[in-house]
């Protein structure tokens, strides 16, 4: 698929005023059926988005775009068990990705702060991987 860009200036439309930097695409199976083809299609959408995030053009911040998929419960159950903690049933927990400092003191302080805030919000941190 070849990008087409903005339409030419016409009527009240002038492409010089285009400043939208966001875009989104959805590829889903409305019945919740999981498939590799859905992931492939989502990657195709991502490759064809032309906004700042999809281009990954923010080299100084790492801003970019990605795809959101269902939590791979079977995989996580296996690896979390190996880490020493058990997961509840699917849809009974969430997963977060946190970029931590390689410095041991900073890492420990960040984990402690995160866990404190989670407790204050009524949540339980099951474990770290």
Q: Which residues are catalytic?
A: 22
Backbone phi, psi, residue 54, to 5°:
-70, -25
The three-class DSSP label of residue 82 is helix
Round to whole Å and give the CA distance between 63 and 66: 10
Nearest residue to 27 (alpha-carbon basis) of 40, 14, 16: 40
């Amino acid at each position: 698929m070849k990008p087409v860009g903005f339409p030419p200036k016409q009527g009240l439309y002038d492409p010089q005023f285009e400043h939208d930097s966001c875009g989104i695409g959805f590829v889903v199976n409305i019945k919740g059926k999981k498939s590799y083809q859905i992931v492939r299609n989502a990657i195709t959408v991502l490759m064809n988005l032309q906004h700042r995030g999809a281009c990954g053009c923010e080299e100084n911040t790492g801003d970019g775009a990605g795809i959101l998929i269902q939590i791979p419960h079977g995989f996580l159950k296996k690896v979390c068990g190996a880490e020493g903690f058990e997961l509840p049933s699917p849809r009974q927990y969430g997963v977060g990705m946190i970029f931590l400092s390689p410095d041991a003191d900073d890492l420990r302080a960040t984990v402690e702060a995160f866990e404190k805030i989670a407790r204050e919000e009524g949540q339980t941190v099951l474990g770290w991987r």
